[in-house]
Chains A and B, each alone.
Chain A
Amino acid sequence: MTGASNTAMIRRGTAMSLALLVIFLAAWEWGPRCLGIPSFIIPPLSMVYTEFLRMLAVNALMFHTGITTAEVIAGFILGSLLGAFFGYMLGMSPTAEFALSPYILALQIAPKVAFAPLFILWMGFTVYPKILVAILIVFFPVMVNVLTAVRTVDPDLINLARAFKATRAQIFWKIEFPASMPPLFAGLRIGSTLAVVGVVVGELVGGNMGLGYLLAFGEGQANTPMVFVTILMLTVVGGIAYLAVILIEQRVLHYMPKRALSGF
């Protein structure tokens, strides 16, 4: 595709996206009323906005958003580091992978969010169990992607390096590590959205801080607009985390053909 027609496509696509947004917001505002849906089932847009302003003033919305964001960041970074570390270790040691794979598989199959009550029993109503759930849930996609990447490096590339008398460390730093970057970032993208899931489940299960707590609080009060506001804030937090990963990815993978890096 030529640059000009590509630009035209982007312009048309953006216009359509914006039009869809306007239609969606309008349907949200007037649709429920037209269809006779009560506001405690689907509150219209304006009501959700009013609730947003009320929560900012009364419920310390920004404080709870901040707590959730901090937990997401901590869980995501720690989970990614651990996942990458184990991915490289197991990728370079087939024996270790063979020995550990049944346990890794079992842990991967177990629904990670089910650990939330256990972690709260262990660590109480603090931020730590939430971070721990996020770590656990981020760990797997990152580890599996890195492991596969290291395992699937072209053996001829390794032989090329070996023929130049490369040491094991040189093979890792000059071939395996950079070769694992695209799959690593694919794993990080998945991890960034899963981190929010892990944190929210942890907050729903116990504690009095974070957006998950506000969700449970709104539910208890049958305050549907409050639940809507909280869901929107969670989406914003997740979106920012995802966007951050993409921005870093575009810098790290700058050598890739542009098309392969389409953001969303």
Chain B
Amino acid sequence: MSDVIRLEYRNVTMRFVEAAGQSLTAVSGVSFAVRDGEVVSLIGPSGCGKSTLLNIGSGLYAPSEGEAFVDGERVEGPNAHVAFMLQKDLLLPWRTVAENVMFGVEIQRIPLPERRKRAQALLENLGLSDFSKHYPHQLSGGMRQRVALARTLAVDPSVLLLDEPFSAVDAQTRMVLQRELAQTLKREGKTALLITHDLLEAVTLSDRVLVMSRRPGRIIDELRIDLPARDNPIARRHHARVNEYVSRLMDRLGIGPTEPAAGAVA
């Protein structure tokens, strides 16, 4: 991990105009930076604007105030430095696995031999080689999500924006996919911003966890995860300090055994 900053939000505020002409502030004055090779998780209550931040980072939304930077360049719109992956795999049913992986690089008009080479390498790394000619409907949910990850990596982005990528798959598959993601991020030295509701996922996959408040979302806490083996979240689960981190996050989110479910968050 170097000190180069890959992704940065500077005082970002996002307001949406609602039907009644009133504006709704989704996020307010958010500033943070993600360094090269770092994996940062963003947690917070539903509707606190986590996904809005991700859309701003990928250039799909322009912030109302403040700015986002990727690789030191101000984000003015969609750009080749970032790629995102959602809970939905968004695979195109009329394309084979290999063609789906090549979707992004095809749009970026990268020459076909290079596209094929990248797709083949990624499919091999993710254990999908035997399925390259299959169609999405022939795959399980976990495999489809793996294809989506390969498609995201194929464009070779500096920063991966991951929005609850594994929340739709079953618990066992999720652990396997988390490990694969962690290994891939480590191997490729990628920088990632991960949005999740799963506190354990946040702790086991990240170098740092940022906690957001209820709407309008602000960063209310930052937790550095000092655990070894970021590329092996399953091993990390057994670490003694994991519970301590999770408890702290629960505390910051206002989820406690004695408090009401809708406990207030600072």
Using a CB–CB cutoff of 8 Å, the interface residues on chain A facing chain B are 154, 156-157, 159-166, 170, 174-175, 178-179, 181, 255-257
Instruction: Tell me, rounded to whole Å, the shortest Cβ–Cβ distance linking A258 to chain B.
Output: 10
* B90 in the interface (beta carbon within 8 A): yes
Give A91 to B60 CA distance when docked, in angstroms. 22
Give A170 to B78 CA distance when docked, in angstroms. 15
In the complex, what residue of chain A is closest to B83 when comparing beta carbons?
Answer: A163
Give A156 to B90 CA distance when docked, in angstroms. 8
On whether the beta carbons of A170 and B93 are closer than 8 Å, the reply is no
- Can you show 19 pairs from A to B with CB atoms below 8 A apart? A154-B88, A156-B86, A156-B88, A160-B86, A164-B78, A164-B83, A165-B79, A165-B107, A166-B107, A170-B107, A174-B92, A174-B106, A174-B107, A178-B94, A255-B135, A255-B137, A256-B93, A256-B137, A257-B137
Given contacts A255-B93, A255-B135, contact A163 B108 (CB under 8 A): no
Would you call the interface of chain B mostly helix, strand, loop, or mixed? loop
On whether the beta carbons of B84 and A163 are closer than 8 Å, the reply is yes
Would you call the interface of chain A mostly helix, strand, loop, or mixed? helix
In the complex, what residue of chain A is closest to B95 when comparing beta carbons?
Answer: A255
Give A162 to B61 CA distance when docked, in angstroms. 11
Kindly list chain B residues whose C-beta atoms are within 8 Å of the C-beta of A159: 55, 60
Kindly list chain B residues whose C-beta atoms are within 8 Å of the C-beta of A178: 92, 94
Nearest 7 CB-CB pairings of A with B: A164-B107, A164-B104, A166-B107, A255-B135, A178-B94, A255-B94, A163-B58
Give A261 to B94 CA distance when docked, in angstroms. 14
Residues 96 to 137 of chain B near chain A (Cβ within 8 Å): 96, 103-104, 106-108, 135, 137
Per-residue CB contact flags for chain B residues 52-96 toward chain A (1 = under 8 Å, else 0) read: 000100111000000000000000001110111010101011111
Most buried by B among A154, A159, A178: A159
On whether the beta carbons of B86 and A164 are closer than 8 Å, the reply is no
Give A164 to B107 CA distance when docked, in angstroms. 7
Give A156 to B95 CA distance when docked, in angstroms. 17
Given contacts A163-B82, A257-B137, contact A181 B88 (CB under 8 A): no
